Amino acid sequence: MQALLKLLQFLRPHWRFAVMAPVLMLCEVVLDLMQPRLIQRIIDYGVARSDTQVVLGTASLMLCFMALAGLSGLGCGYFAVRAAYGLGGDLRAALFRKVQSLSFGNLDNLETGALITRLTSDVNKIQEMVMMMMRGMVRMPLLMLGSLVMAAVISPRLGLIFIVILPALTIALIMIIRKTFPLYRQVQEGLDGVNTVMQENLAGVRVVKAFARTEYESRRFALANNILVQRMTDAVRMSSRTTPVMMLTLNVGVVAALWIGAGEVQMAGMRVGELVAFINYLGQAVITLMMFSTLTIQISTAQASAKRVLELLESEPILMSPGHEIKFASRPSGKVVFDNVSFNYSPANPDLVLKNISFEAEPGQTVAILGATGSGKSTLVQLIPRFYDVCQGSVTLDGVDVRKIPEEELRRHVGIALQESILFSTSIKNNIRLGEPDASFEKLSTAARNAQADEFISKLPDGYEALVGQRGVNLSGGQKQRLAIARALLVQPSVLILDDSTSAVDVHTEGLIQEVLGLNSYRQTRFIVAQRISSVLNADKILVLDNGEIIAQGTHYELLDACEVYREIYDSQTENGVITYSGN
Amino acid sequence: MATNFQEKQQSAPPLMGRIGNAQTYSEVQRPQKTFETLLRVWFYLRRQKIALIFTAIMVVGTVCLDLIGPFLLGRVIDGHIITRNLNGLLQILVLMLLVYLSSGSLYLLQSYVMAGAAQRTMRDLRADLFSTLLHMPLNFFDRRSHGELMSRLTSDVENINQVLSNCVAQIVSGSLSTVGVAIAMFFINPRLAAVSVVTISLLTILGNRWLAAKTRIRFRVQQAALGRLYGFMEETIGVQKVVKAYGQEKAFTTQFDVVNEDFRHSGIRAQSYSGLTGPMMNTIHNTAYAIVAGVGGYMAVFGMTTVGVIAMFISYTRQFGRPMNEIAILYNMLQSAMAGAERVFDIIDETPEVDAHHVDLVQKIQGDVLFDCVSFSYQKDVPVLKEVTLHARPGQTIALIGPTGAGKTTIVNLLTRFYETDSGKIQIDGRDIRDIPKVELRQQLGIVLQDTFLFSGTVKENIRYGRLDANDEEIVEAARLSNADTFIHLLPNGYDTLLTERGSNLSHGQRQMLAIARAILADPAILILDEATSSVDTRTERHIQEAMHRLMEGRTSFVIAHRLSTIRGADKILVINHGEVTERGTHAELLAKKGFYWRMSVSHQEESPKPERVLLEDDAAICVLENEL
């Protein structure tokens, strides 16, 4: 409940609506409570005294009340929606801003799917619940209390029926809900089981077919399916007990009221209309209780959502902003120095990913980084734009520790083409202009040309305006990588990082890209992470990484002489020969 | 004065089992072939004949009992309370109790039986859907995204489930009781009945129709805004790292605010209208009471009716109006379930893979493979293979090389009959593969792909996938031969270590070794291998090479090769480019030709940073298909 209450602070800007809705609901309830009394008036004063004036007058009054109640209900609904959607929108915006502020370290720990769920269905559940609460949470207790009071006013003796029936029903409902909850949790598990088999058969369809395992998968599915069906049946059966239990309790109450009431009418001069009104109030109270139980369930699911949302909302970015921020007066020259850097993704893990890394990259130099998978190549270059903070030592750009440079400023000067080339489902043009949305077309096409992307782009039906992704063109791995490189080139950073970003580009095109980069028109310092030795031959400096350590650095020929690991990689790729026409 | 509260329809069982809340926001989807779909759902339901008959009897029973309740109540008021006559009151009250008790029990029984029937129906439907998927040809999966298929399998089926579990009995008993109540009312007092029945029906129908028209358009707008919002969030958050790398947080936040605000506005408009339903129905009911009380009271004054009848009528009025109201609310749910059912049946109706009819058991295959003038295209007019002919004798190794998208993988896809040839034929041991049942055929083929698919389960179970009846020793032996044994022993629980979804806790290379173990266990006559490329480090690469060579011994092997050592060792090398075999022969023969192959290997050995321009990425669309295998 705490998590939900905390989130209710998001109602503050919408407090007018949040107040108006319950107030109007109050009006509606009061008017609703009047109805049985008015009917009683018709019976006791109109029919009993044969007074048509009273009958018609009261009926008109009822119609008036009814119209007013309808208007109040309408208003309440409108204000509840305004409040709930206001809260939902604000909450979503707050979460989105939070995600924008998080560091890479946070993002690694949060699964993308889970993150999106929080912003979408979790916020929706909370929003729905607030809407329900604005209406139901006010309506139900008021209606219940009102019915009780009205009934007691009519006849204190009959009122005793309330005292017996309501607690009994409450206990019965609680017992049923208690049993239902775990059953539905099991249903969820059963559903997950069925979904897993389905998901695997979709993703692994080729394996299933290749091994001719149709029969086996059918059996696997049947098993999961049967478990789900059994659990679902149990849960539905349990939860469908509520209705008959409630109805029976209520009707027993009615019979009791008739029995006691008959005596009251005879002995104590109670009016017939009063008895009928009493029974009506009893019905209202019981139905309210029933709705209450539905609401409880909704609150408890919203509760789980609220917890997840709050967890995200309260998480702090791992990277701290520097206290006093340094801005570069002009474009930095691009000198990058790693001074005894050690790094680890999680402090709990004692194994360091990078150990005592020291090297210098002079402005305009090309530094290549080579090593086996898992040796820490990508991690090393990601420290330059400060995606993560070092655990020990320092990384400096033009002599300034990257931790002292505001993130935005730093990343304006450090361009990176990530290992996985990620494109947005917008036009090719906008994809390349990501880092500088208002770049001129000339700048755009220069970047594309230098990344050797211009040619294939101009062959597309809509050229630079072609849409990428599901609604647009399908690009091959190599084409995507070239767009990612163009994107990095466009911003003309002082430091350019290509993180294994030509692995799917064919050798010929890769050569052309390197040729252009070799001209180095913008005097950039460049870092190239690569698997293929052919990509690193011309580097000014090659760092050979093994298990997070630099085991050798130098030029190609220096390393061929001095470093055995380098030679081994070289041999394996030349004598044995990797044919490099494809690299998916 | 609702005196009979047997309104079990007034609130459905809590919808806790509801998965997600697609319902809340989804615009009501309109089914196209309502009648046909209903009929097919009925065919499924019909299998639960006994349960259905039982339920029908129960429903009729409860509806009748529900009519008796208010009637007795009227009798009590008129016959005992107004006349202050306590004689016989006890008997009639006991009768009332009995009526209520049996109505409750009948309802309980009915929902108990119906729950089972509905769930069994869902089971049958789900099983049929899954079995259809299992027998679909691969191009079926190429045409659809996994997300789309999963949403059919989950949310569409769930929508049908909601309706079957909650609404069927409710709608049937609701309609029955509406009719029953109307008849009873006309029987008791035709004039009063006419007034209340006409008022309620008219108001409910007109009100809902007006509201539905208003809501539909606004829901559509809201749905579109929601789609934009979700799409934007999914895309941005999914690739948050790129956004950050380019320092575009602010720009994206600004864009987000626009879509978010847009959704809020459209949401408020749509929800305000749909929120009208509650107050509106409330108003309609209250109007009906007022009219019944007013008209009834007026008639009572002139002796045309009694107080007991008014009490009865107010109760009947509620029973009459409530189901109408509920059906109106359920209508949306019903519509989207129908649309879902339609989509589910669309899949069930897809044509399954064609398979050989006669199942005569094939002897152990020798492994003689012949492609005879085979042509193939994934999409019309985009030929991928053009009259390819090749012959592999038992035990030979055939290396397939060529640029991405040239058609290497397609050759494999045809041999396994994942796809059917457009023209030409493929023979194994002299017999057309179309005459061999797929199960038989594929049991003789072993396939090791670059990207190995692992199922969630233990390491052992994943290897056993190659041969289901293999015992533990055989599994360990296969793992040893594939060099996987070493790393498996380092896993927390060895062979019993649970692999997470898609085996993400293993490296690429390790997964490939498991795939080799699988293939070793399957002991196929013909092997299809796809060599790993750059993403595996040198040492692991060597282990994999070793294991692959071990596996290839004595089997006809097709290798989509990347390493010169593999290619050199092959009996035959086929260079494939633009869907055609451009060169074929042994390593030495091809070098002597000084063609494509020669240029490729020479350019590599010289490590020229500027190799000749021979290898280019091919047509993008084909690349996508190729990359999947």
Cα–Cα distance between A445 and B435 in angstroms, integer? 55
pLDDT in tens, A286-304: 878 777 777 777 787 788 8
Confidence of residue A226 (pLDDT cuts 50, 70, 90): very high
pLDDT, residue B361, reads 56
Pick B234 or A60 by higher pLDDT. A60
Which of A251, A457, A467 is most worth mutating to test chain B (most B CB atoms within 10 A of its CB)? A251
pLDDT in tens, A363-376: 989 999 988 766 78
Do B69 and B150 lie in one domain? The reply is: yes
Do B161 and B268 lie in one domain? The reply is: no
Do B110 and B180 lie in one domain? The reply is: yes
* Half-sphere exposure (Cβ direction) of B224: Cα atoms closer than 13 Å: 7
> Is A201's CB within 8 Å of B133's CB?
yes
CA distance to partner chain B, nearest, from residue A396 (Å):
18
> Is B253's CB within 8 Å of A180's CB?
no
CA distance to partner chain A, nearest, from residue B236 (Å):
8
Do B183 and B200 lie in one domain? The reply is: no
CA closest to A68 among chain B residues = B283
Pick A477 or A410 by higher pLDDT. A410
CA–CA–CA angle A554, A560, A563 (5° rounding): 70
Strand order in the sheet with B382-392: B382-392, B369-379, B423-428, B431-432
Do B249 and B174 lie in one domain? The reply is: no
Q: Is residue B387 part of a domain?
A: yes
Do B258 and B143 lie in one domain? The reply is: no
Contacts of A506 in chain B (CB under 8 A): 403, 615-617
Cβ contacts from A onto B, under 8 A: 521
Do B422 and B390 lie in one domain? The reply is: yes
**Does A277 reach chain B within 8 Å, measured CB to CB?**
yes
**Does A212 reach chain B within 8 Å, measured CB to CB?**
yes
Cα A504 to the center of its chain, rounded Å? 32
pLDDT in tens, A102-124: 888 777 777 666 777 788 888 98
Write the ipTM: 0.78
Q: Is residue B473 part of a domain?
A: no
Q: Is residue B311 part of a domain?
A: no
pLDDT, residue B257, reads 92
Q: Is residue B589 part of a domain?
A: yes
Do B45 and B136 lie in one domain? The reply is: yes
pLDDT, residue A386, reads 87
pLDDT in tens, A426-468: 889 988 988 888 889 999 999 999 988 888 888 888 888 888 8
Q: Average the pLDDT over A74-93 and give the result.
A: 92
CB-CB: which of B24, B242, B272 is closest to A124?
B24
pLDDT, residue B628, reads 32
Of residues B559, B567, B568, B564, the one with CA closest to residue B409: B559
Cα–Cα distance between B264 and B271 in angstroms, integer? 10
B399: tokens are 């290396």
> Is B5's CB within 8 Å of A247's CB?
yes
Contacts of B257 in chain A (CB under 8 A): 93
Total structural domains within chain B: 3
Q: Is residue B385 part of a domain?
A: yes
Largest alpha-carbon pair distance within chain A?
120
CA distance to partner chain A, nearest, from residue B327 (Å):
18
pLDDT, residue B8, reads 34
Cα B595 to the center of its chain, rounded Å? 50
* Half-sphere exposure (Cβ direction) of A432: Cα atoms closer than 13 Å: 33
Average pLDDT score, chain A: 84
> Is A243's CB within 8 Å of B107's CB?
yes
- Amino acid letter at B400? L
Do B96 and B225 lie in one domain? The reply is: no
Q: Are A553 and A371 in contact (CB under 8 A)?
A: no
CB-CB: which of A200, A228, A239 is closest to B14?
A239
Q: Which domains does chain A have, with CATH numbers?
A: 1-138+303-315 (1.20.1560.10), 336-419+493-574 (3.40.50.300)
Contacts of A50 in chain B (CB under 8 A): 301
- Strands A414-417 and B382-392, by their bridges, are unpaired
Q: Are A506 and B609 in contact (CB under 8 A)?
A: no
Q: Are A37 and A31 in contact (CB under 8 A)?
A: no
**Does A213 reach chain B within 8 Å, measured CB to CB?**
yes
Do B45 and B155 lie in one domain? The reply is: yes
- Please state the three-class secondary structure of B165-192 as a single string: HHHHHHHHHHHHHHHHHHHHHHHHCHHH
pLDDT, residue B450, reads 67
Q: Is residue B125 part of a domain?
A: yes
Residue B89 contacts by C-beta under 8 Å, 6 or more apart in sequence? A258, A259, A262, B76, B80
Among B285, B304, B323, identify where a domain stops. Answer: B304
3-state secondary structure of B543: helix
The label of the residue with tokens 């990347």 reads B562
pLDDT above 60 for A396? yes
pLDDT in tens, A246-255: 888 888 998 9
- Please state the three-class secondary structure of B431-473 as a single string: EEHHHCCHHHHHHCEEEECCCCCCCCEEHHHHHHCCCCCCCHH
Which of B16, B94, B453 is most worth mutating to test chain A (most A CB atoms within 10 A of its CB)? B16
Of residues A318, A447, A475, A473, the one with CA closest to residue A389: A318
pLDDT, residue A573, reads 66
The C-alpha R_g of chain A, in whole angstroms, comes to 36
Q: pTM of the entire structure? A: 0.72
**Does A76 reach chain B within 8 Å, measured CB to CB?**
yes
CB-CB: which of A211, A243, A437 is closest to B8?
A243
pLDDT, residue B334, reads 78
**Does A549 reach chain B within 8 Å, measured CB to CB?**
no
Q: For residue B587, what are the domain limits?
A: 367-444+555-629
Q: Are B385 and B579 in contact (CB under 8 A)?
A: yes
CATH of the domain at B113: 1.20.1560.10
* Half-sphere exposure (Cβ direction) of A565: Cα atoms closer than 13 Å: 18
Q: Are B490 and A234 in contact (CB under 8 A)?
A: no
Confidence of residue A541 (pLDDT cuts 50, 70, 90): very high
Which of B95, B106, B109, B134 is most worth mutating to test chain A (most A CB atoms within 10 A of its CB)? B134
**Does A97 reach chain B within 8 Å, measured CB to CB?**
yes
Do B174 and B196 lie in one domain? The reply is: no
* Half-sphere exposure (Cβ direction) of A174: Cα atoms closer than 13 Å: 6
CB-CB: which of B3, B130, B272 is closest to A198?
B130
pLDDT, residue A359, reads 93
pLDDT above 90 for A82? yes
Cα–Cα distance between A198 and A217 in angstroms, integer? 10
> Is B297's CB within 8 Å of A85's CB?
no
> Is A32's CB within 8 Å of B294's CB?
no
Q: Are A485 and A446 in contact (CB under 8 A)?
A: no
CB-CB: which of B14, B82, B275 is closest to A272?
B82
* Half-sphere exposure (Cβ direction) of B470: Cα atoms closer than 13 Å: 24
Q: Is A152 exposed, middle or buried (0-12, 13-18, 19+ CB in 10 A)?
A: middle
Do B181 and B198 lie in one domain? The reply is: no
Residues 121-150 of A with CB under 8 A from B: 121, 124-125, 128, 131, 135
Beta strands in A391-536 (DSSP E): 392-397, 400-401, 414-417, 495-499, 525-530
pLDDT, residue A322, reads 63
CATH of the domain at B603: 3.40.50.300
Q: Average the pLDDT over A421-427 and give the result.
A: 79
pLDDT, residue B33, reads 74
Pick A49 or A503 by higher pLDDT. A49
> Is B16's CB within 8 Å of A261's CB?
no
In chain B (629 residues long), the average pLDDT of successive 10-residue segments reads: 36 31 41 80 89 89 87 85 83 92 92 90 91 83 72 78 78 83 88 86 84 81 83 77 81 89 90 82 83 87 85 81 72 77 86 68 77 84 84 90 74 85 89 83 80 82 87 91 86 83 66 86 86 60 80 86 74 85 86 76 44 31 31
Residues 338-367 of A with CB under 8 A from B: none
pLDDT, residue B30, reads 58
pLDDT, residue A469, reads 67
